[in-house]
Chain A
Amino acid sequence: MPKTMVEKILSRSSGTEEVAVGDIVESKVDMAMSHDNTWLVAETFEKIGAEKIWDLDKVVVLLDHRIPSNTLEVASSHSYIRNMVKKYGIKNYYGERKGICHQVMFEMGHVVPGSLIVGADSHSTSYGAVGAMGIGIGASEMAAVWTTGKLWLKVPCSIRIDVAGEFPQHVHPKDLILKVIGDMTADGATYKSVEYCGDATAKLGMSGRITICNMSMEMGAKCAMVPPDEGTRQYLKDKIRVPYDEVHPDPDAVYEQTINVDLSDLVPMIAKPHTVDNVDPVEKMAGKAIDQAVLGSCTNGRLEDLENAAKVLEGHTVHPDVRMLVIPASTEVYMQALDAGIVKKLISAGCLILNSGCGPCLGAHQGILASSEVAITTTNRNFRGRMGSPESEIYLASPETVAASAIKGMITDPREVVE
Chain B
Amino acid sequence: MSELPLPYSSRMSGTARLVGNDVNTDVIIPGRRLIHRDPFMLARFVMEDLDPEFGKMIEPGDIIVAGKNFGCGSSREQAPIAIRYAGISAVIAVSYARIFYRNSMNIGLPVIECPDIIGKIEDGDQVSIDLEEGFLQHKRGSLTEELEFRPIPEFLLDMLKDGGLVAHLQKQLRGEG
Contact = CB atoms under 8 A, between A and B. Distances in A.
B22 to A, nearest CB: 5
Q: Tell me which of A71, A187, A381 has the highest count of chain B C-beta atoms within 10 A of its own C-beta.
A: A187
A118 B50 CA distance: 30
A141 B98 contact: no
A275 B22 CA distance: 8
Contacts of A47: 1, 166, 170
Given A48-B166, A138-B102, A381 B35 contact: no
Given A138-B75, A364-B31, A143 B166 contact: yes
A37 B69 contact: no
Interface in B96-132: 96-99, 102-103, 106-107
Interface stretch (A82-90, A226-234, A383-391): A383-391
Contact of A122 (B1, B99, B169): B99
A136 B25 CA distance: 14
Interface in A359-387: 362-364, 368, 381, 383-386
B95 interface: yes
A147 interface: yes
Given A47-B166, A71-B35, A141 B73 contact: no
A353 to B, nearest CB: 22
Interface stretch (A38-46, A54-62, A330-338): A38-46
A44 B69 CA distance: 27
Contacts of A74: 35
Contact of B35 (A44, A73, A136, A386): A73
Given A47-B166, A140-B103, A385-B26, A220 B75 contact: no
B94 to A, nearest CB: 10
Contacts of B72: 186-187, 220
Contacts of A147: 169, 173
Contacts of A73: 35-37
B26 A386 contact: yes
A137 B75 contact: yes
B162 interface: no
Given A120-B75, A220-B72, A136 B27 contact: no
A234 to B, nearest CB: 31
A120 B75 CA distance: 7
A24 B159 CA distance: 15
A77 B26 contact: no
A105 to B, nearest CB: 15
B49 interface: yes
A107 interface: no
A127 to B, nearest CB: 14
B49 A390 contact: yes
A222 B22 CA distance: 17
Contacts of A187: 22, 68-69, 72, 95, 97
B164 interface: yes
A141 B168 CA distance: 12
A368 B32 CA distance: 10
B141 interface: no
B75 A121 contact: yes
A43 B1 contact: yes
B175 to A, nearest CB: 13
Nearest to B52: A390
Contacts of A222: 98
A139 B35 contact: no
Nearest to A391: B49
B106 A140 contact: yes
Contacts of B98: 190-191, 220, 222
Given A186-B69, A385-B49, A141 B102 contact: yes
Contact of B97 (A43, A220, A362, A386): A220
A243 interface: no
A365 to B, nearest CB: 9
Contact of B77 (A119, A139, A386): A139
A141 B22 contact: no
A49 interface: yes
Interface in B49-79: 49-50, 68-69, 72-78
Given A49-B173, A187-B22, 16 more contacts: A48-B166, A73-B36, A136-B99, A138-B75, A138-B102, A140-B164, A140-B166, A141-B102, A143-B166, A144-B165, A187-B68, A190-B98, A220-B72, A363-B26, A368-B32, A381-B24
State the 4 A-B residue pairs at the shortest beta-carbon distance, nearest first. A138-B103, A385-B49, A138-B77, A187-B69
6 contacts: A48-B170, A363-B31, A384-B27, A385-B27, A386-B30, A388-B32
Interface of A: 24, 37, 39-40, 43-44, 47-50, 66, 71, 73-74, 77, 119-122, 124, 136-141, 143-144, 147-148, 152, 186-187, 190-191, 220, 222, 275, 362-364, 368, 381, 383-386, 388, 390
